[in-house]
Structure 1
Amino acid sequence: MAPIPTPPAEPEDSPETYVGMEASSAERRARERGWSSVRSLPPGAIITMEYRVGRLNFEVGHGRVTRCWKG
């Protein structure tokens, strides 16, 4: 039987620290801190809810991050 794959670890980072930041600065910081995927979404966007290890989601309104969450 094949071994069970170990998912990559997420960065030790708090999503709340990105709220209020300018969107491009927040994305740059997230990548520097080790997030493998960063997704920017407009307010109210319809998205799939699957959880992806290493992904950080930004809700962006008027060029600023208004909400941020993992997965």
Structure 2
Amino acid sequence: MASLPTPPAEPQDSPDGYVGLRAAQAEQLARERGWSTVRSLPPGAIITLEYRVGRLNFEVADDRVVRAWKG
């Protein structure tokens, strides 16, 4: 039987540190810190809720990150 694949490691980074940053600055910083996927969303966007290792989500209003979370 084949072994289960090991998911890639997620950056040891707190999403709270991105709140208040401009959207472009936050995205660049997240990629520099090792996030493989960065998703910017408008407030109230309808999104899928599956957890994706290595993805960082930003809720952006008026070009500022107002909320950030993993997955």
TM-score range, shorter chain: over 0.9
Q: What TM-score do you get using the length of structure 1 for normalisation?
A: 0.99
d(CA) in 1 for partners of 2:46 and 2:23?
A: 19
Q: Give the number of aligned pairs.
A: 71
Please report the RMSD computed on the Cα atoms of aligned residues, expressed in angstroms: 0.3
Displacement after TM superposition at 1:30 (Å): 0.1
Structure 1 gap ranges (5+): none
**What residue is the counterpart of 1:31 in the other structure?**
31
Is 1:50 the counterpart of 2:71 in the alignment? Answer: no
Matched AA of 1:34: G
Percent identity of paired positions between Structure 1 and Structure 2: 75
Q: What TM-score do you get using the length of structure 2 for normalisation?
A: 0.99
The runs of 4+ residues in structure 1 deviating greater than 3 Å are none
